[in-house]
Chain A
Amino acid sequence: MYLTKEQEAMLSGEKGETMAKCIQLTVKIGEIYDAKNLIPIKSAQIAGVSYYTVGDAIFSFFKLLSEGNVKVRVPSWLNPAGMDTEKWKEMCIDADFADKQFQIIQKYRSIGVETTLTCTPYLIGHKPSYGDHLAWSESSAVTMANSFFGARTNREGGPSSLAAAIVGYTANYGMHLTINRQPTILVNVKADITSLSDFSALGYWYGENYQSKIPYFTKISGLDVDHAKMLSSAMASSGSVPLFHIQGLTPEANNIDLAEVDEKVSFTNDDLKQIYEHFNQSIKNPELVAIGCPHASFDDIKTINKLLKNRNLLDEVEFWIFSSRKVANEEKAKSIVLNLESKGIRVYTDTCMVVSPAVRNRFNNILTNSAKAAFYLIKGEKTNVNFLSLEEIMELVTN
């Protein structure tokens, strides 16, 4: 692999052992995938934040970082933590967990990472630009960055995105190269998809059937950033799809060479129905509604408020919306959040149903409009999940 003089110096330990380790990691991964060189990145999205998922293993790694006295060299943001950093007691998180969680967040802050604690950096002003090279490690955000924004990032892991942030470079392979961004599956979307959960179902169906292959979807009308994030997150969890194209909509769709497509498939109303049925565990007594996977936007919160109208939440049901602190604290969101909370709907930030122990430890019967959330929650031994549209959920849990 070709390295610049600066990169050679980093690798040889001139900038310290920690820096050498970080660039060694970047270079080795590049070598495995036949990268010719390293490329500068514009930003990094770093996973590996929730104490629930990283456990104590991360602290030994932090020691290495402290010894090296390193800082990130590009704008870097954090994935969600295991709890709301203000309302953790209300979520029934114990003090030991909170203490560990705060230590992790503080450590990332100390090396210059902005503690955004969201999987949707693009909803809080960190939108990547067309052609930007990134090292993002939240799988749903990776697919959004590549597909919706036309930026370029591989599905980095937590450690590799952090190393890239410290080094300022990532290896030039995979999604960074135009040749790898061509679709190989053409999907004729025949089903009537309208709601957020329909887009989530389409993504789930695609990822489950075609793993990491890049799809080209024929015309899907009315796709906005929120639909795209549902589609992205689902196909990046049932499969490992890093990029999709939609005819006439996504930024690279016009540069596509459809000659490389080697399979043409259809997504029908029957396929859509089957995905809903797959997660339909016919819960009679839902305990929790969990919305916000990926994190809810201002529009998502507004929609829930609108659907609620003058109705009230059933006493026996908890209703949690997960969002980013920045979105929930925005001036325009404040009165809506207050109204929702007055009706018993809780808006939690910094965390979500997938990475917080508060959900799986306390609730066995969960309703969600996200196929990604359903996919992960159902892995809990006692957890039953129903995957429904927001409209259906609101009908079920209000009167």
Chain B
Amino acid sequence: MRNVSIRAIVEGQVEGQAIVSLTPISFLGGVNPKTGVITDPENILYGKSISNKIFVFPEGIGSTVGSYVIYGLKINGVAPLAMVANQAETIVIAGAILANIPFVDHPDVDITKVIVSGDNIKIDTINKIIKIKRD
């Protein structure tokens, strides 16, 4: 088990399975808001769903309309349980707040290097840490 300290942007206590994008994510054009499936062929997660998982990525990029995609995921019942980024920016912040999806950033390490898809992770925004469990 490993602990990583974080900054909380949208609060929440969440435990779940991680799914990790190694490259920055554009929600607009990169994630299907109806299914939660990654649609960007350049992304390592192409064809996989972020629904009901803890979505880990370096940062958000692309159109600011991406915020509406995150909100759409929530409305359609296919949102991730929580999101973890190395650096928050306005697109994901706006989307996470509108959709009320727990969202943290500023880990003390490059988060995409210490979490791998399939890890069980626990986000605790009260104590500002992520616990990573690997079987």
List residues of A whose CB falls within 8 A of some B CB.
21, 24-25, 28-29, 32, 47-48, 53-58, 60-61, 63-64, 137, 156-160, 163
9 inter-chain pairs at a CB distance below 8 angstroms, sorted by A residue, are A24-B97, A25-B97, A28-B10, A28-B93, A28-B97, A55-B33, A57-B28, A156-B90, A159-B98
CB distance from B81 to the nearest CB of A (A): 19
Minimum CB–CB distance for A10 against chain B, Å: 14
* Given A25-B93, A61-B98, A64-B98, A159-B64 contact (CB < 8 Å): yes
Chain B minimum-CB-distance residue to A137? B64
The reply to whether B71 and A157 contact each other, CB–CB distance below 8 Å, is no
Contact between A159 and B9 (Cβ–Cβ < 8 Å)?
A: no
Kindly supply a per-residue 1/0 record for chain B positions 62-79, scoring 1 wherever the CB is within 8 Å of any chain A CB and 0 otherwise. 011101110110111000
Contact across chains for A56 and B94 when beta carbons are under 8 A apart: no
C-alpha spacing A9/B10, complex, angstroms: 20
How many residues from B make CB contacts under 8 Å with A? 25
Query: Is A159 touching B67 in the complex (CB atoms < 8 A)?
Result: yes
Q: When the two chains form their complex, are residues A57 and B97 in contact, meaning their CB atoms are under 8 A apart?
A: no
Binding site for A on B (CB under 8 A): 9-10, 28, 33-34, 63-65, 67-69, 71-72, 74-76, 88-91, 93-95, 97-98
B2 to chain A, nearest CB (A): 26
Bound together, the chains give a CA A24 to CA B74 distance in angstroms of: 18
State the Cβ distance, B11 to closest chain A Cβ, in Å: 11
Of chain A, the residue at the smallest CB distance from B76 is A60
Among B68, B72, B76, B97, max chain A CB count under 10 A is at: B68
B30 to chain A, nearest CB (A): 12
Contacts of A25 in B (CB 8 A): 93-94, 97-98
Q: Are A21 and B33 in contact (CB under 8 A)?
A: no
Q: A28-B93, A55-B69 are in contact. List 5 more A-B contacts (CB 8 A).
A: A32-B89, A47-B64, A57-B68, A60-B68, A158-B68
CB distance from A335 to the nearest CB of B (A): 39
Q: Are A21 and B97 CB-contacts (below 8 A) given A53-B63, A57-B68, A60-B76?
A: yes
Report the minimal beta-carbon distance from A240 to chain B, rounded to whole angstroms: 11
- With A25-B98, A64-B98, A159-B98: A57-B64 Cβ-Cβ less than 8 Å: no
What residues of chain A lie closer than 8 Å to B76, measured between beta carbons? 60
Does B93 lie within 8 Å of A32, measured CB to CB? Answer: yes
Residue numbers in B under 8 Å from A47 (CB-CB): 64-65
- A48→B65 contact, CB < 8 A: yes
Supposing A32-B93, A47-B64, A157-B64 touch, asked if A53 and B72 sit within 8 A by C-beta, the answer is: no
> Are B68 and A54 in contact, with the CB atoms below 8 A?
yes
Kindly provide the distance from the CB of A235 to the nearest chain B CB, expressed in whole angstroms: 18
B residues in contact with A159, CB < 8 Å: 64, 67-68, 94-95, 98
Query: How far is it, in angstroms, between the C-alpha of A60 and the C-alpha of B76 when the chains are bound?
Result: 9
* Shortest Cβ-Cβ A-B pairs, 5 listed: A157-B64, A60-B75, A57-B72, A57-B68, A159-B67
In Å, the complex CA distance between A160 and B95 comes to: 10
Interfacial chain A residues near B67, Cβ < 8 Å: 157-160
With known contacts A24-B97, A25-B98, A29-B94, A48–B69 Cβ distance under 8 A: no
Partner of A60, one of B65, B71, B88, B89: B71
A29–B93 touching, CB < 8 Å: yes
**B110, chain A: closest CB distance, angstroms:** 19
Report the minimal beta-carbon distance from B34 to chain A, rounded to whole angstroms.
8
Q: How far is the CA of A64 from the CA of B71 in the complex (A)?
A: 10
User: How far is the CB of B35 from the nearest CB of chain A, in Å?
Assistant: 12
Does A160 lie within 8 Å of B88, measured CB to CB? no
Instruction: Report the nearest A residue to B63, measured CB to CB.
Output: A53
Give the complex CA separation of A61 and B34 in angstroms.
14
**In the assembled complex, which residues on chain B have CB atoms less than 8 Å from the CB atom of A24?**
97
Chain A hits for B89, CB < 8 A: 32
Q: Enumerate chain A residues within 8 angstroms of B34, measured Cβ to Cβ.
A: 56
Which of the listed residues B71, B91, B98 has the most CB atoms from chain A within 10 Å of its own CB?
B98
Chain B residues with CB under 8 Å of A29's CB are: 90, 93-94
Give every chain B residue within 8 A of A63 (Cβ-Cβ): 75
Shortest beta-carbon distance from A248 to chain B in Å: 34
Q: Which residue in A32, A54, A64 is a CB contact (below 8 Å) of B65?
A: A54
Nearest-neighbor residue (CB-CB) of A31 within chain B? B9
Closest A residue to B33 using CB positions: A57
Complex Cα distance, B68 from A48, in Å, reads 9
Given A53-B63, A54-B68, A57-B65; A160-B94 close (CB under 8 Å): yes
